[in-house]
Amino acid sequence: MVGRGRFEYVSTATMFLVILLSLDGILMTQVNSQSPSISALFIFGDSLVDVGNNNFLNTMAKANFFPYGIDFSNGATGRFSNGKSPIDFIGEFLGVPSPPPFADPSSVGSRILNGVNFASASGGILDESGQHYGDRYSLSQQVMNFNNTLNKYKTMMNATALSQYLAKSITIMVSGNNDYINNYLLPELYRTSSNYTAQEFGNLLVSKYKQQIMALYNLGLRKFFLAGIAPLGCTPNQKARGLAPPRRCVELVNQMVRFFNEGLRSMVDQLSKNHADAIFSYGNSYRVFEDILNNPAAYSLSFVDRACCGVGIYRGQLSCLPYQLPCAFRSQYIFWDAFHPTQSVINVFSWRAVNGPPDDCYPINIKQMALR
């Protein structure tokens, strides 16, 4: 039991969140009762939000085997976690079903009316990121896939109805992670670290990202939640590379990520100013994850430095191997494998994305976005 002295080190926001999370059932009822009508969720990004697209691609980046999904009711579905994805939780908080993966042949007709998930593990903002894993949908390909889906909607509703449908939908984008861990930070495979400084690379990513966001805007989407990158230097994968003292985060990597995040937040301001008919919001994943790392006990977490599943230094230099036995106390771990903020942590991220204050979601959170 945590005494009063321990709480003196925890922010007010953190204490408030812990109280709410302990009343999960009550919270869910309150959120859903206040939720507006949301047409659909459209998801773009990488393995953090992939719910099975890579199952249908010729790639090594898959999570459709045990122990992935060990705590998920449907088992291993392609979600890179022991349980739910952020989109599952966000959908629950908003009262909207988690949309199906684009690549699934059964994602047609009424099944796509609640939206579609285009995210692909190992895919990045740059087309070449993650190519050593095999096939994947880069962000530009995901945008093209959305355009294909749009053609399906055109056969299901008239132009006016479709325009209103898209305007009331929420677009969630989680991209950029693989442009670092599966591109810039692998100089043996990619030349980007030789061609760009960390600041230049961050600017390049933001510029390319903006192009794809505007492509989606031009296709009719109007509400965008853009998640920043968490401190990648604190993942078991980066710690295992020996670039920092034992049990310390790799600050050099975290600084790279901050360049990107700063540019992404500035882009949100610019887009909001230039496109008054749309809403853009920045999700401060870095801040949320940093809070969890600094105050693990406040979230009932005990294991900060190693993954629950994986192999190598700190048990988590690599992703889970098929049929590998994970740790026994999964709910107490921050990391599930070498790269993936367990279900316990995903729940926190998702709740703060939907309900968090401006420090978490700038300038507004997903729930506030849905009300507009």
Q: Catalytic positions, please? A: 47, 337, 340
Angle between helices 251-274 and 285-294 (to 10 degrees): 140
| Closest to 371 in 3D by CA, of 284, 307, 279 | 279
In angstroms, the Cα distances linking 84 to 32, 142, 232 are: 19, 22, 21
> Is residue 280 a contact partner of residue 268, using CB atoms and an 8 Å limit?
yes
One-letter amino acid for residue 109 of the chain: G
**Residue 205 to residue 264: CA distance in whole angstroms:** 9
> Is residue 209 a contact partner of residue 176, using CB atoms and an 8 Å limit?
yes
Other Cβ atoms closer than 10 A to 326 = 22
Question: How many degrees, rounded to 5, is the angle at CA 300 between CA 298 and CA 304?
Answer: 90
Tokens of 246: 């034992």
DSSP helix/strand/coil, 7: helix
Q: Where are the alpha helices (DSSP H) in the chain?
A: 4-7, 12-22, 24-34, 86-94, 139-154, 159-167, 177-179, 192-195, 198-218, 236-239, 251-274, 285-294, 343-355, 366-370
